Amino acid sequence: MIPVYQSENKKFFNSVAAVAFPVAVSGVYDYQVPEKFMGKITIGLPVLVEIKKNKTWGVVVELNKESAFPKLKEIIEIKEGQWADSSHSLFKLYKWMADYYQCPLGRIFKPLVSKSVISTKAKTVTVYRCGGSGEGALKDNHIEALNAIKNCAEPLSAAQLEIRFGIKPSALVLLCKKGYLVKESKQLLREADELAIDHGGSPAELSPQQRESVEQIRASIPNPQKPFLLYGVTGSGKTHVYTELAKKTLEQNRGVIILVPEISLTPQTIQRFKAAIGDTITVIHSHMSDGERRDSLQEIVTGRKRAVIGVRSALLVPMDNVGLIIVDEEHDGSYKQSDTDPRYNARDVAVMRGMMQNAIVVLGSATPSLESYYNSLIGKYHLVKLTGRFGGAALPEVKVIDMAEEHQENNWTPLSRYLVNRIDETLGQQRQIILLLNRRGFSPVLLCKECGYSQPCPNCSVNLRYHKADTALKCHLCGYEEEAPGVCPKCKGTKIKYKGTGIQKAEELLKEKFPLAKILRMDQDTTRRKGSHIAILDTFAKGEADILLGTQMVAKGLNFPKVTLVGVLQADTGLHFPDFRASERTFQLLTQVAGRAGRAEFAGEVIIQTYYPDEAAVKCAMTHDYLGFYDHEIENRRELFYPPFGKLARVVAEGAVEGVVREFLKRAADVLSNNALGDGVTVLGPSPAVLSKIDKVFRHTMLLKSASPKALSAALFEIRKMAAKLPSSYRCIIDVDPVNML
């Protein structure tokens, strides 16, 4: 809706803008549209307004003729061309998200319209071109400089001219003064580091099965009816299907969104898509600077870039006419935002965006979530299968090592004897190795052998982890750290042991056993610095390292042809968490990391070390048996009425006084039990959360379960109203479709 001016009575129609805020301001507020902005404000436009005596950026969500409130404040500033939604389909999506995930509408915009991004200016640089009307004699070196600049295809900056031709800034000053050169301002595009990587290569020739999959999906482009689940074994070439679909979509002048679960996957994904569709790609992820993110959004808004690759927030980009949305590794828990509003799952929102923008949605995985595979069996999704590895490669052989037997043979290290021998043989063959240990730090527990004391975090209900590199004990929840003690803080004994194995300890042991091997470690600690994940993967891809040791980020989607051995050091790390998805996550992680081996002409081997070799997750991963695991696990879900058979929501109350949070949830549970709103909703709890204290904040939780999304939403809305009356220092978290039960 565009504001209209009515000349007869000098009143402005639609002169009131309803604004939502991506900050801690609930609700929607009305503002007067001043005459200077008439005709310029549309739904979706960022505007600067005053609220609570502060100037704050918000987003226009509605335009009206008048307001129920008198004396409205005026809009101060607008960002034209920054974000527009011509079809309003995106705002339907954002409103759906706010309703479904039970959060204020403004929070949906936070990833895109944060203050730091919206206030960041375009970056400009001074460039030089020939002016053509110079006067006065020139020295030989100035003539050479002028001729070099004349032959440039485009104006260059002083730094570029000095690097390329050795032209000094003083020469540029003189040539400008005499009129031979003209200075101009040129806007620079700040891009993510991944886009600077030379992709090389060319698109692969599709196999008959891949081409059949492409044609099956492409046939629905004019009128997509439901999403596609692309279920293909690891190494089956799902990315080749994605790139071919993207190429076909762009040929029809429609946009493409590609989601990956981890930042570590963006470099290889970009390389593959660049080889197929060229430079029409931009990137969105959290390691980008504000300037890079601002410029990426601007490239999308202006239509200069028609494909975006990124993690979950890339799904919310303001792109019109989207024709294809790809969610790679759709099962991955990283697609769920659990730490802040909106607590959305990008996979599920992708399905909704596809429906609202008439776009094809492709969910791809070798280990689909039980919910997605179930949806494909009951007809909500189309199921497309890739049953063999691309290029005729075979699935790797998987061997399970019972670590209890290793202990019986007096091997107490985290490396089994068989794994050590196979690493040694693989290094001798000049092949590469990936090792997975999903545990940060050096040792999980500090233990006094004299009194049994273990050092807890003073702020949280967990023990501190030992990080040997810093000789520090650290909390991975609140960030607290302290110097590692030399004596027991409780009994003053000197028999301090660091029990268990973290990834730093495993790295140290590998260096001792294989001193000639080049080892790279990839975890949260080594990838904090901007671009560090790119550097690690690039080094390994070039064959400049022999062993890549990492947490779960090395298990997903990476393709290194020389990797023939994969080892999982502790397969049980997450197996017995108090979470109904623990077994599913373990199976997915083991199967995914196993898929990194033997992806080219060399045969692969996977070694899984475990204390529970008879667990279904381990046994099915050993035989790459997704369907066997699905059949086993789906019956457990059916019996407990967990997803996909029932809808879940988790409610967490947090605050400084435990009694207050406990009583709030108890009161909420009582209201639902004694109210028609609770009909059809089962309440489990309340009880202390598994992580009952984080950063001095107590946490209690309860779980709501229902067959009816509508009944569940009504119950949650009632809890939201109750939560509004909590003291400001307390908060109530509502997590719909939770994936984190801690």
Q: State which residues of the chain have pLDDT below 70.
A: 1-13, 23-24, 80-87, 111-120, 132, 192-203, 264, 392, 557, 599-600
* Two tokens, residue 95: 């409103």
**Residues 128 and 82 occupy one common structural domain:** no
Rg (CA), the chain: 29
Q: What is the 3 state secondary structure string of 76-92?
A: CEECCCCCCCCCCHHHH
For 542-566, the DSSP string reads TT--SEEEESGGGSSS---TTEEEE
**Residues 623 and 731 occupy one common structural domain:** no
* Dist CA 37 CA 213 (whole Å): 50
**Residues 364 and 235 occupy one common structural domain:** yes
Question: Domain total for the chain?
Answer: 5
**Residues 316 and 357 occupy one common structural domain:** yes
Where among 369, 391, 413 does a domain terminate? 391
pLDDT at 661: 95
Q: Classify residue 487: in a domain, yes or no.
A: no
Q: Classify residue 445: in a domain, yes or no.
A: no
Q: Classify residue 642: in a domain, yes or no.
A: no
**Residues 240 and 313 occupy one common structural domain:** yes
Q: What is the CATH number of the domain that holds 548?
A: 3.40.50.300
**Residues 169 and 235 occupy one common structural domain:** no
**Residues 387 and 405 occupy one common structural domain:** no
Q: What is the CATH number of the domain that holds 44?
A: 3.40.1440.60
* Dist CA 330 CA 558 (whole Å): 15
User: Considering the entire predicted model, what is its pTM?
Assistant: 0.84
Q: Classify residue 703: in a domain, yes or no.
A: yes
Cα 14 off chain centre by: 38
Q: Classify residue 314: in a domain, yes or no.
A: yes
Where among 605, 636, 667 does a domain terminate? 636
Q: State pLDDT tens for residues 604-634.
A: 899 999 999 999 999 999 999 999 999 999 9
**Residues 200 and 159 occupy one common structural domain:** no
* Two tokens, residue 93: 């999506």
**Residues 684 and 714 occupy one common structural domain:** yes
Q: What angle do CA 667, 672, 677 make, to 5 degrees?
A: 145
pLDDT at 52: 80
Q: State pLDDT tens for residues 656-704.
A: 999 999 999 999 999 998 877 778 899 999 999 999 999 999 999 999 9
Q: What is the CATH number of the domain that holds 670?
A: 3.30.70.600
Q: Classify residue 446: in a domain, yes or no.
A: no
Where among 610, 636, 662 does a domain terminate? 636
Q: Classify residue 119: in a domain, yes or no.
A: no
Cα 653 to Cα 182, 338, 701, 734, distances in angstroms: 64, 14, 6, 9
**Residues 401 and 383 occupy one common structural domain:** no
Domain of 677, in residue numbers:
647-736
**Residues 607 and 690 occupy one common structural domain:** no
Q: What is the CATH number of the domain that holds 134?
A: 1.10.10
**Residues 418 and 365 occupy one common structural domain:** no
Q: What angle do CA 201, 204, 207 make, to 5 degrees?
A: 170
Q: Classify residue 13: in a domain, yes or no.
A: yes
672 SS3 class:
helix
pLDDT at 243: 93
